[in-house]
Amino acid sequence: MNTVVNYTDMRVPKVCLLIVLLSITTHLRAQQSMESSEIYLLSEWNGQVRVCEIQGAKLLKTITVSANGDTVKQFIPFTCQTPSLADTIYTIGLTVRNDLETDEVIYFYSGFNDFVQVYIYNEGILEQKLKVGYRVPVNEATFEAHYFYTAFTLPSKADRELVVTIKNRAKKKAEFQLALHSETSFYKTIHIFRDTHTTSILLATFFQGALGFMVLFMAFLYFKNKQVIYLYYSFYLAFCVLYVMLNMPRLTLIGQWVDYWPWLRIYAIEPVQFFSFAAYNLFALELLQIKKADEKIYKIIWVMTVSYLVYIPAILIVQLVEAPAAIALPLFIGSRAIIFPVNLIVIIQVIRKVHSPIVKYFISGLSAFLLGGIVASYCYYEPTILPQFFPALKPSNIYQAGILLEVLCFSFALGYRIKLAEDERSKNHQAYVQQVEANRQMAENYSHKLEEEVLQRSEKIISITQEAEKEKASAQRSELERKLMEAEMMALRSQMNPHFLFNSLNSIKYFIMSNQNDKASGYLSRFSKLIRQILDHSRHNLISLEAELAALQLYLEIEANRFEGKFQFSINVSDEVNASAILIPPMLLQPFVENAIWHGLLNSESNEKKLGISVFDDEGTEDYVFIIEDNGIGRKHAKAIKATRVNTHKSVGMALTESRIELFNKNLNNDIRLEVQDLYEQEKAVGTRVIIRLKVKQEVRSI
């Protein structure tokens, strides 16, 4: 006799289960002789038979017989109309006899159940135990390539009692479509499955390969350029590939690899989808620069992204605790019901508010993705539609095609974005080249003009000197010497201009070539302004202290930017100093500041490199005092370092400035004094102080 056992408690201890199985087999053996007509004979089948159609299949049902909860187990027939309940372990029993002349391999089909165990008894002794089912790992299953089949050999003229237990998780009802197949029927079924799925599998494999290549390419671009847009896009593509891999059938190598851990298919598919949604949103924010276009849309998309990431652990918890459908299904449907309308609203707002040439590529890709998803969903719920037109395709292939079209559009968008960035870079580089050429031409023209002026004045001096009368020789000589001094001072200033001009060009070039366009633009703006000031100042013998300090401020900002903030500077002018009324020679302070930076601070290993410029009125001497002080390595150490280097920064500005001070004092009968002090602490050089004292005439002081 054959039996079926029904348990209402899914947490039945294994010992109890074994006792029940032993009782079933004992019962089977006890009644086999009386009911031999219920033994299924292989000679009766045509290669396959459903278990529910076998007359000998039985069910052991637990029945409550009293108000105290007493129960008895009763064997009832197992038919195709037997109802299936959730949270129930079913045990089905039947006896099969091979009345043929040859041994037969019998293939057992378990239906779409999670865990199925087949116990094979020979005269009451357990001969074989087989595992099969959707949640059974590959390494424990009979066939690596098939979820729901297992097999055993039935010798000729032999009987075997089969006891089959069915257990499902997550409130899933048992499926009773159990069947026995001959070897021919089994391989015919498998070949039909392969034939109907081969095209779909090949397309899915192509999809994974194409997107896998894009993942690697986007990751390469990220590590090359360090732009997060490529990182977000590579994550999005990677999650799309992972989603398809998790849905590959066990017939494929990837499907078999996934089914070493069957829980991945159960629990990971939904989180992977929402991880891809989150990565997609972050990619869209970067691609379209939405934050610059509309702050409100940017915040909405950020909230959506955070919501996706919050939903992931929530759905994982629901899955792990195997919540009833009353909780899981509304959560699943509700999430979609919220996502699609909100996304539609956001898309409309993006079209309205974001005015970028990239938007058309983004909308095209998104439309392809949504269309593929909608058509795939419709074909899934209406399975007769797709075979009418494309019998070899599955709904998942439509969805994958939509993603591929989306990836193609997004690739165009990224390519266009790269082109825009390259155009901007070329534009900035061209502007830089034009500015450098203009500055070079300006400096060259000015140098030629100064040389001609010096030559003309020298010739005039020689001519006047030769023609001068003896009695006027002394007066004429004095006037000519004064004019010669002015020419020499202008020549000295013209030598300083090219020196300072070309000192900064390499820095601008570096920022342009390294794609630091904002820095290059700011640097170029300050540099051009400083050059104009220097050229303007060089036309005058005297300029105001205010103009000198403004140019010096620009120079220090340029140098600090060029050396990436390796030193700090400050310019302090006391309140009693009227900077606009004090006149000094142009470029009086800059050479000393340059010397302090190059030879004092940049050679220092100190973490805090400071340069201070102070201007104040010395009431005791009625001098205006300029102090330039740094905390560098000192003059002695700087000279030692300079002597060991072949190519060092040659600062001739200090020597030129000392010559100009001498000419200024002699020519204008003024008094500028220079003093350089080495600073020490505990006999160790800790910097240099340059003191310039200017004796200003009384009428200037009283302005």
pLDDT digits (tens, 9 = 90+) for 199-209: 888 888 888 88
Domain boundaries, the chain: 4-181, 196-417, 561-703
Alpha-carbon span 473 to 396, nearest angstrom: 107
Q: Are strands 104-109 and 149-154 parallel, antiparallel or unpaired?
A: antiparallel
pTM for the full predicted model: 0.54
Q: At what angle do helices 228-246 and 183-225 cross, to 10 degrees?
A: 170
Kindly report, residue by residue over 593-616, the tens digit of the pLDDT.
Answer: 888 888 888 888 888 889 999 999
Residue 635 has pLDDT above 50, yes or no: yes
Mean pLDDT of 408-415: 85
Name which of 27-41, 61-75, 443-457 the model is least confident about: 27-41
CA angle 231, 233, 237 (to 5 degrees): 120
pLDDT at res. 546: 92
Overall average pLDDT of the 459-480 stretch = 64
Distance CA 684, CA 606 (A): 14
Long-range residue pairs from 13-19, CB within 8 A, at least 24 positions apart, any chain: 17/165
CA 320 to chain centre: 30
Q: How far apart are CA 252 and CA 246, in angstroms?
A: 11
Question: Under CATH, which number does the domain 196-417 receive?
Answer: 1.20.1070
3-state secondary structure of 45: coil
- Whether the predicted pLDDT of 690 surpasses 90: yes
Report which residue type is found at 28: L
Tokens matching residue 218:
């986007």
Q: Is the pLDDT of residue 517 over 80?
A: no
What are 53-93's pLDDT values in tens digits?
A: 888 888 776 555 555 666 666 677 888 888 877 777 888 89
Predicted confidence (pLDDT) at residue 496 exceeds the cutoff of 60 = no
What does the alpha-carbon distance between residue 517 and residue 495 come to, in Å, rounded to a whole number?
Answer: 31
Distance set, CA 639 to CA 590, 603, 643, 676 (Å): 20, 11, 6, 15
d(Cα 74, Cα 67) in Å, to the nearest integer? 18
Cα of first residue to Cα of last residue in the chain, in angstroms, is 126
**Type and span of the H or E element at 228:** helix 228-246
pLDDT digits (tens, 9 = 90+) for 286-330: 888 888 888 888 888 898 899 889 988 888 888 777 665 556 667
51/176 Cα distance (integer angstroms): 8
Concatenated DSSP letters of 162-173: EEEEEE-STTPP
Assigned CATH class of 561-703: alpha beta
Distance CA 109, CA 107 (A): 7
CA distance 343 to 335: 12
Q: Return mean pLDDT, the chain.
A: 78
If pLDDT is split at 50, 70 and 90, which confidence band does 13 have? very low
- Percentage, residues of the chain above pLDDT 70: 80
| pLDDT at residue 491, as a whole number | 52
12 DSSP 8-state letter: -
Q: Return the residue matching tokens 């390499």.
A: 506
What is residue 385's predicted lDDT score, i.e. its pLDDT? Answer: 67
Tell me whether residue 210 is exposed, middle or buried, using C-beta atoms within 10 angstroms of its C-beta: 0 to 12, 13 to 18, 19 or more.
Answer: middle
- Can you state the angle between helices 325-353 and 359-381, rounded to 10 degrees? 150
How many residues comprise the chain? 703
Dihedral angle, C-alpha 547, 550, 551, 555, nearest 10 °: 170
Residue 87's region, left for phi above 0, alpha for psi from -120 to 50, else beta, is left
**CATH 2.60.120 is held by the domain 4-181:** yes
Cβ contact 45:180 at 8 Å: yes
**Quick one: average pLDDT of 510-531?**
76
Total Cβ atoms within 10 A of residue 644? 7
d(CA 411, CA 409): 5
Q: The tokens of 310 are what?
A: 């919050």
161-205 pLDDT, tens digit each: 999 988 888 777 888 889 999 988 888 888 888 877 788 888 888
- Which pLDDT does position 442 carry in this prediction? 82
The pLDDT score that the predictor gives to residue 18 is: 46
- Give CA–CA dist 470/480, Å, rounded: 15
Residue-wise pLDDT for 552-595, tens only, equals 998 888 888 877 778 899 999 998 888 888 888 888 888 888 88
Q: What is the per-residue pLDDT for 362?
A: 84
The predicted-structure confidence for 239-256, as pLDDT tens digits, reads as follows: 989 988 888 888 788 888
**Whole-number percent of the chain with pLDDT over 90:** 14
